Chains A and B, each alone.
Chain A
């Protein structure tokens, strides 16, 4: 199985900050990489698929980049509603696996 490793595990930031979360795959997954936002008690939300394609309805302050084994999610200017847990997930083969998550807290 492909292992996905995110960093950092937790991050404190302020409204208006620019933040970047990284995700590394244990082997090349080309661009088969997706990002999700998860708030407690709610359904996870797909933000970005195929490494850099913004899902419909997702604000443009979210962006993704990378290919092969190294990927990143950037939020250009944090808004109050962005404080959540973020997961990367590969869709290169089965089983699709997730990173361990990055908790983004208000500083």
Chain B
């Protein structure tokens, strides 16, 4: 069964860094667009970043550009989100999600998320 499992969240101070991991099971991350989507406490869903199938093209929401970097390790079937210069407003539950095949940016498989608290 296809699934993704996020890890790496925690409580950190503003201005520090954290790296989130998303390990995939049952499919190959290199065959799909892989995304991070976050949900701040009491709020809705916000897309954060994508690494496309080619592994080179990435994109980010404006609020994290220049601070966050998405990457992929095909040998570990894992996607990462390096978060630098963290701010209070980055506090959220971070989900990893996989594209539906042939339907870009329709998120077919999600993890339960890893919580990041910046305080």
Contacts and interface: CB of A to CB of B under 8 A. Distances in A.
Given A91-B103, A91-B104, A97 B112 contact: no
B20 to A, nearest CB: 15
A105 B8 CA distance: 33
B105 to A, nearest CB: 4
Given A42-B112, A43-B111, A49-B100, A98 B44 contact: yes
Contacts of B107: 34, 36, 44, 46, 89
B47 A43 contact: no
Tell me the dominant secondary structure on chain B's binding face: strand
Given A41-B112, A43-B110, A94-B50, 12 more contacts: A42-B112, A44-B45, A46-B100, A46-B108, A49-B106, A87-B45, A91-B105, A94-B105, A95-B61, A95-B62, A97-B46, A101-B44
A55 interface: yes
Interface of A: 32, 34, 36, 38, 41-46, 49-50, 55, 87, 89, 91, 94-101
A97 B100 contact: no
B72 interface: no
B59 interface: yes
A105 to B, nearest CB: 16
A12 B27 CA distance: 38
A89 B45 contact: yes
A89 B39 CA distance: 14
B44 A99 contact: yes
A21 B38 CA distance: 23
Nearest to A46: B108
